[in-house]
Structure 1
Amino acid sequence: MDGKGWNTWGEGAAFGLQNGMAVIPYALLKYYRKLNLSGSEAMLLIHLLSFRQVEGIEFPSLEELQNVTGRSISVIAGELQKLMKEGFISIDGDNDELRDIHYEQYNFSGLYSKLGAYLAEAAQEAAQGKTAGHAQTSRTAGRYSGNPAAAAPGEVEESRNLFSIFEKEFGRPLSPMECETISGWVDQDRYPEELILLALKESVFAGKVHFRYIDRILLEWARNRVKNAQDVKNYSQNFRGR
């Protein structure tokens, strides 16, 4: 980048900083899906926090929210209603007697409480897992060394750590993107853990141990209503018999 380019970049950065900065809880960015929030709902919370911190607007209008999100007022209203119903935000009202006006503002204590509770629970689980984690992972991973179609559903459902099993099969730590992919299979696509592990084993047997191949297996099974080990077995037999 030449001197002119650096000047342009610097001017843009300076302009952005002069327009203010909002402090967003990192836990919200990292764990919003664990709280069953969609990406747009999490972004709406971020906008509400930003309006308060940067612009001093405690209760932005639907039109103001529409301008920054680019989504329809009806969608925004629906998301706000859900956030209030599930206790992430609430609305406080008060009167300014000096100016004789009534005003409202969003209260984020529910959001902070939920984030705090999740972090405390995660920390407790991590502490408990330090003593038995290694042995449990070895025992759990060992259950899935056979044919995936023959895996017992009860055994598969005992798994509590998909990440550890995937790391064992891949022979390395998972990347953040790979962890996000597994979380998406569970939280968004609603694939049973049993099915995810069976797809992993199919990829191992095929010699194609990578996430794209596993995702294609899961998608193919979903299209054909394959939901458990028996369905996988039946589907495999029908597929080979074609």
Structure 2
Amino acid sequence: MDGKEGKNWSGGVSLGLQSGMALIPYALLTAYRKLGLTGSETLLLIHLLSFRQVEAKDFPSLEELQAVTGRSASVIAGELQKLIKEGFLKIVAGSDDRQGIHYERYDFSGLYDKLGIYLASRNDAFAADDKSDLFRSGSRAISPEPGGIFSGDAPGEDASRSLFSVFEKEFGRPLSPMECETISGWLDQDRYPEELILLALKESVFAGKMHFRYIDRILLEWSRNRVKNAQDVKAYSQRFRGGR
């Protein structure tokens, strides 16, 4: 790099640093897929945070977001609606009595809450002793019963708080955004208890059918037969074996 290029480079760096810097939660960059976010949705959140921190704009327009993302207003609007619907963002209205103006701003508390819950679940998973793993051989929580589905007590409360971690461990890979949405749907829309989801996962492991459609069919079948907990699963298994 000659003297002129070096001067231009240093001048560019200086100008870039003077234009401002935004602080982005590192957990957002590493865990966005676990939260069910796509890359473009995550980038949109980063831009919104940057507008607030660097330009003091709490509610940038679609045109401003278009300029920095290069995407259409309709696509950006759709992503914003999804982020709001899923609780990552809120639009908060307010007013400045001294200036007599009303304003709106984006509230990121939902995003920070979700990141906090995820990080706490990861911490619980790392801190748990190996023998508390529901799916390790010799687990005391649930054990296979010859000819049936399960026997034993319900999964422990600590394990039930880290559904995503348990699924990832059993599948041996990170979950896709669609798979994360499926689990969230079981909890939020179908209202399946966490222990029942873990039991269905356990059944899929025993059956050697490790895919979400099979687990969903198990949960649907149990729901139709009013199976709601580990004791119901055991009773349903016994009826099934007895042909009643």
Could you say which TM-score interval applies, normalised by the shorter chain?
A: 0.5 to 0.7
Q: Secondary structure of 2:51's partner?
A: helix
CA distance in 2, matches of 1:50, 1:7: 28
1:91-131: CA deviation from partner (whole Å, max 9, x where unpaired): 11111111111011110000000000000001001111556
Q: 1:70 Cα shift?
A: 0.6
Cα distance change on mapping 1:129 and 1:8 into 2, 3 Å = farther
- Which residue among 153, 163, 187 is the counterpart of 2:176? 187
Aligned to 1:80: 80
Aligned to 1:125: 125
| Percent pairwise identity | 54
1:171-226: CA deviation from partner (whole Å, max 9, x where unpaired): xxxxxxxxxxx53xx40586xx99xxx9xxxxxxxxxxxxxxxxxxxxxxxxxxxx
Letter aligned with residue 9 of structure 1: W
Match status 1:55 vs 2:44: no
Aligned to 2:37: 37
Aligned to 2:9: 9
Aligned to 1:212: none
CA distance in 2, matches of 1:92, 1:59: 10
Tell which has more relative contact order, 1 or 2 (C-alpha 8 A, sep 6+). 2
If each structure's helix is expressed as a fraction of its own residues, which one has the higher value?
1
Written as runs of structure 1 = structure 2, the 5 A alignment for 1:92-131 is 92-129=92-129
Q: Structure 2: which 5+ runs fail to align? A: 140-148, 150-165, 180-200, 215-244
Aligned to 1:175: none
Q: 1:71 Cα shift?
A: 0.6
Q: 1:89 Cα shift?
A: 0.7
Letter aligned with residue 99 of structure 1: Q
1:146-170: CA deviation from partner (whole Å, max 9, x where unpaired): xxxxxxxx9xxx985368x6xxxxx
Aligned to 1:170: none
Aligned to 2:23: 23
Q: Structure 1: which 5+ runs fail to align? A: 140-153, 166-181, 199-226, 229-242
Letter aligned with residue 126 of structure 1: F
Written as runs of structure 1 = structure 2, the 5 A alignment for 1:152-191 is 161=169, 182-183=173-174, 186-187=175-176
Q: Secondary structure of 1:103's partner?
A: strand
Aligned to 2:221: none
CA distance in 2, matches of 1:88, 1:33: 14
Q: Secondary structure of 2:21's partner?
A: coil
Cα distance change on mapping 1:131 and 1:14 into 2, 3 Å = farther
Contact 2:36 2:178 in 1 (8 A): no
Root-mean-square deviation (CA), in Å?
3.2
Q: Secondary structure of 1:22's partner?
A: coil
Report the count of equivalent residues: 159
Moved over 6 A (4+): none
CA distance in 1, matches of 2:81, 2:167: 36
